[in-house]
Amino acid sequence: MGWLELSFTILTFASLARARRICPFGTQEHVTNYSERQCCIAVFCDPGFESRLCENIGDEALCVPCPEGKYMSTSHWSRDMRLCQIKRACDDGQSVFDERGTTEDRVCQCDLDKGFYNKSVGDPCIRKRCEAGMELTSDGRCKPCRSGYFKPEANYEPCLKKKDCDHKYASHGNATHDVVCKEKASCQLLSEK
């Protein structure tokens, strides 16, 4: 090997040593998305946990629970430095159906209370207005208000619960009108003058 080849080999090794940390036996280099490096003992993180660097060289890497609003659906080695993902935001016309904890993304569904439905799972939400006395079903039909409920005008909202009159009704109402409660009779004592 000539002097030039030897110089090139030494320079190449020095460059690689700077780019990649030489870790002590039993540890592996862990590199974050922010190019932080540390030699840690690799650990296996379960779903719902993300990887963090070890505190000191030679310590075990850390698996920490996903923070609120994030999830990790797969298990992984800490050396992969996987971070929990942000849960999806529900689209317009949707609401959260199931938060699903830290191991799965949240599930959104069309918001019936705001007049949205979809024909099948995965389809976009469609908005539909129902007439007075009717409310929207999950399959996009308008059905009469359930017993004990009413809706006074056509809109996107569900039927409203009727008042409770403690079984003293002047009028029981119907699908478009609330009940009317009887007024309590007030008794006044007439005092003698």
Give a yes or no: residue 169 inside a domain: yes
Question: Residue 60's domain is classified under what CATH number?
Answer: 2.10.50.10
Domain range spanning residue 163? 129-178
Give a yes or no: residue 104 inside a domain: no
Question: How confident is the model over 51-78, as pLDDT tens digits?
Answer: 999 888 889 999 999 999 999 999 999 9
Q: How many residues are listed for the chain in this entry?
A: 193
Domain boundary among 33, 51, 86: 86
Give a yes or no: residue 184 inside a domain: no
CA atoms within 13 A on the CB side of 5: 2
Domain count across the chain: 2
Question: How confident is the model over 160-173, as pLDDT tens digits?
Answer: 999 988 767 778 78
Comparing 153 with 191, the larger pLDDT belongs to 153
- pLDDT band, residue 45 (cuts 50/70/90): very high
pLDDT at 130 over 60: yes
pLDDT of residue 9: 44
Give 136-140's long-range contacts (Cβ < 8 A, gap of 24+).
Answer: 136/112, 137/112, 138/110, 138/112
- pLDDT band, residue 22 (cuts 50/70/90): confident
H-helix segments, the chain: 3-19
- Paired strand residues for 52: 62
- Paired strand residues for 95: 109
pLDDT of residue 191: 54
Q: Of the ranges 119-128, 140-149, 178-187, which one carries the lowest mean pLDDT score?
A: 178-187
Give a yes or no: residue 68 inside a domain: yes
CB 160, CB 176: distance < 8 Å: no
Give a yes or no: residue 122 inside a domain: no
pLDDT of residue 35: 81
Average pLDDT of the segment spanning 129-158? 94
Asked whether residue 82 falls in the same domain as residue 134, the answer is no
Q: Of the ranges 2-6, 36-40, 104-108, 146-150, which one carries the lowest mean pLDDT score?
A: 2-6
CB 102, CB 72: distance < 8 Å: yes
Q: Which positions ≥6 away from 14 have C-beta within 8 Å?
A: none
pLDDT at 8 over 50: no
Domain boundary among 86, 113, 137: 86
pLDDT at 6 over 80: no
Give a yes or no: residue 138 inside a domain: yes
Portion of the chain with pLDDT greater than 70, in percent: 83
Give a yes or no: residue 151 inside a domain: yes
pLDDT of residue 192: 53
